[in-house]
């Protein structure tokens, strides 16, 4: 039976999937050696395997394998709020709901706030798993450019004015943004809060990387700038600071929303997996989280530096990169003639060469940024990164020679020659609001 013969819901059209997540299966299916800069996965050396393995014998009993409270295991909530009390961003128990990773936090937020046809602001580029979640609830997306200080909030205001509409939600990743690695400045955070209040729009504050600053000063969160603000819906996860396979995260919301969050979560998965919550709680209770974060910060700074050095050495002026002060990602934009290379085509060539990244168009709902790509510097050791960047340089060379071939082809080479595929996600394919965007600035 073909898909069109099923009695599908209208929303099935809006389930666009995730190119980022699909890269995991694609890479798993490859049999040759590949340097993995694609997924935003923590260093495997960073996973506290020994402690995790010791927890079941100590802590698990039959109650670990039964249903848990939807809002989360009480001892995890205690451990988490206790830990947050020692940071600049403490919170109260009644503001926390444990989720199945950051993705569920995003799903809850969009489910609660977005009706079909609502305007949702997203950064451009953005974490398209987040924008895809908004689309799954029928959102229309407005992409707002990002520069070295995060979302350009002045442009947001102008784009919204031009649309003649009022956004319902603003999806932002304020720290070490996925994919650009840039951080929203404090004045822009303040301005965004003002605009959210003017529009009565919720800020979906997605911050998986904020605890991973290895350079510069921490900036105040939306919650610090506007304590207990009902329009701030914060999405957090243990995926980047502990391990993504745990699928444990949390949301921080106004207490008046919590029952709704719980109701929505009950329609999804009843509760977050209990054994995973025990692992996280025990890790926090062991008192190792601070030392672990210190280790991660130092390690990731070294890995970012190593990637920048390898890029300078092997790609030099052919590319421009952002220089994140934390998190996992560098954003790379091809320069000069190389900018004509479609990074989706480059991905195929690079995969054959043994290196993987996420092409720019996969990181914009409208398929922008065909001259750019995202590299994760966190997953690979400096030696592996050097190998990967050498392979990437070879792939760019090959992609470039295809470009000159394409020119010949267009000048009249025989049909059937193997020219460049320019298959890309067409701009505006996922949203009707994209035409408002004049192009990113990264």
Degrees, nearest 5: CA angle 388-392-396: 175
Give me the least distance between CB of 122 and ligand PLP, in Å please.
Answer: 11
- Owner of token pair 């394919």: 429
Task: Return the residue of 42, 48, 68, 101 that touches ligand PLP, per CB under 6 A.
Answer: 101
Residue 180 binds ligand PLP (CB under 6 A): no
| Closest to ligand PLP by CB, 103 or 279 | 103
| Closest to ligand PLP by CB, 73 or 206 | 206
Give me the least distance between CB of 140 and ligand PLP, in Å please.
Answer: 21
- Please answer whether residues 157 and 203 qualify as being in contact, where contact means their C-beta atoms are separated by less than 8 angstroms: no
Task: Return the residue of 173, 193, 231, 425 that touches ligand PLP, per CB under 6 A.
Answer: 173
Positions in 292-351 near ligand PLP (CB under 6 A): none
Give me the least distance between CB of 207 and ligand PLP, in Å please.
Answer: 8
Of the candidates 145, 141, 208, 146, the one whose C-alpha atom is nearest the C-alpha of residue 170 is 141
The SS3 assignment for 378 reads: coil
Cα–Cα distance list, 103 to 131, 236, 270, 387 (Å): 11, 9, 16, 32
| Closest to ligand PLP by CB, 48 or 354 | 48
Calculate the CA dihedral of residues 18, 15, 434, 324 and round it to 10 degrees: -20
Site string for ligand PLP, 25-64 (x = CB under 6 A): ---------------x------------------------
Residue 244 binds ligand PLP (CB under 6 A): yes
Residue 174 binds ligand PLP (CB under 6 A): no
Residue 280 binds ligand PLP (CB under 6 A): no
**Greatest extent of the chain over all pairs of C-alpha atoms, in Å:** 72
Terminal-residue alpha carbon distance, the chain: 44
Neighbouring C-alpha atoms within 13 Å toward the C-beta of 248: 21
Give me the least distance between CB of 206 and ligand PLP, in Å please.
Answer: 5
Residue 208 binds ligand PLP (CB under 6 A): yes
**264 phi/psi in degrees, rounded to 5:** -65, -40
Quickly list DSSP for 331-346. EEEE-GGGGGS-HHHH
Alpha carbon distance 418, 416 (integer Å): 6
Residue 237 binds ligand PLP (CB under 6 A): yes
Within 289-439, residue ranges assigned H as helices are: 289-314, 343-353, 382-410
Residue 128 binds ligand PLP (CB under 6 A): no
Residue 206 binds ligand PLP (CB under 6 A): yes
Residue 310 neighbours by CB under 8 Å, 6+ apart: 382, 385, 386, 388, 389, 390
Give me the least distance between CB of 148 and ligand PLP, in Å please.
Answer: 18
Instruction: Tokens for 361, please give them.
Output: 């168009």
| Closest to ligand PLP by CB, 205 or 229 | 205
Give me the least distance between CB of 420 and ligand PLP, in Å please.
Answer: 30
Give me the least distance between CB of 432 and ligand PLP, in Å please.
Answer: 24
Residue 123 binds ligand PLP (CB under 6 A): no
Give me the least distance between CB of 25 and ligand PLP, in Å please.
Answer: 16
| Closest to ligand PLP by CB, 127 or 137 | 127
- Please answer whether residues 120 and 141 qualify as being in contact, where contact means their C-beta atoms are separated by less than 8 angstroms: yes
Site string for ligand PLP, 388-407 (x = CB under 6 A): --------------------
Residue 239 binds ligand PLP (CB under 6 A): yes
Cα–Cα distance list, 251 to 59, 122, 369 (Å): 25, 19, 31
Residue 127 binds ligand PLP (CB under 6 A): yes
List residues binding ligand PLP (CB under 6 A): 40, 101-103, 127, 130, 173, 178, 206, 208, 237, 239, 244, 249
């Amino acid at each position: 039976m073909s898909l069109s013969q099923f009695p599908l819901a209208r929303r099935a059209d809006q389930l666009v999937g995730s190119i980022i997540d699909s890269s995991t299966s694609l890479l798993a299916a490859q049999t040759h050696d590949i340097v993995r800069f694609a997924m935003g996965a923590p260093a495997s050396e960073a996973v506290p395997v020994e402690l995790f393995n010791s927890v079941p014998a100590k802590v698990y009993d039959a109650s670990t394998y039964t249903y848990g409270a939807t809002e989360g295991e009480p001892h995890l909530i205690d451990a988490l709020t206790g830990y947050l009390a020692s940071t600049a961003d403490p919170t109260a128990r009644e503001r926390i709901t444990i989720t199945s990773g950051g993705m569920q936090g995003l799903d809850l937020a969009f489910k609660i706030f977005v009706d079909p046809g609502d305007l949702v602001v997203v950064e451009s580029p953005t974490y398209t798993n987040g924008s895809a979640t908004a689309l799954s609830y029928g959102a229309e997306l407005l992409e707002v450019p990002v520069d070295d200080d995060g979302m350009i909030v002045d442009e947001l205001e102008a784009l919204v004015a031009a649309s003649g509409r009022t956004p319902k939600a603003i999806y932002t990743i304020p720290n070490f943004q996925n994919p650009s690695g840039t951080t929203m400045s404090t004045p822009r955070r303040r301005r965004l809060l003002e605009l959210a209040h003017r529009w009565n729009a919720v800020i979906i504050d997605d911050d998986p990387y904020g605890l991973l600053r290895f350079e510069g000063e921490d900036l105040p969160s939306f919650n610090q700038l506007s304590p207990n603000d009902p329009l701030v819906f914060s999405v957090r996860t243990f995926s980047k600071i502990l391990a993504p396979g745990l699928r444990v995260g949390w949301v921080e919301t106004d207490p008046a929303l919590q029952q709704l969050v719980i109701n929505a979560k009950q329609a999804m998965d009843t509760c977050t997996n209990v054994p995973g919550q025990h692992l996280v709680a025990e890790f926090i209770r062991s008192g190792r989280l601070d030392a672990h974060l210190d280790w991660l910060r130092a390690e990731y700074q070294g890995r970012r530096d190593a990637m920048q050095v390898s890029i300078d050495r092997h790609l030099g002026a052919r590319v421009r990169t952002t220089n994140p002060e934390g998190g996992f990602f560098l954003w790379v934009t091809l320069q000069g003639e190389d900018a004509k290379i479609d990074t989706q085509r480059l991905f195929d060539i690079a995969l054959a060469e043994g290196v993987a990244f996420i092409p720019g168009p996969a990181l914009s709902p409208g398929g922008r940024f065909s001259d750019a790509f995202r590299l994760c510097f966190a997953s690979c050791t400096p030696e592996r990164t050097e190998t990967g960047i050498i392979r990437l340089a070879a792939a760019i060379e090959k992609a470039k020679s295809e470009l000159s071939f394409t020119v010949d082809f267009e000048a009249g080479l025989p049909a059937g020659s193997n020219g460049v595929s320019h298959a890309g996600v067409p701009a505006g394919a996922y949203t009707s609001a994209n035409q408002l965007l004049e192009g990113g600035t990264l």
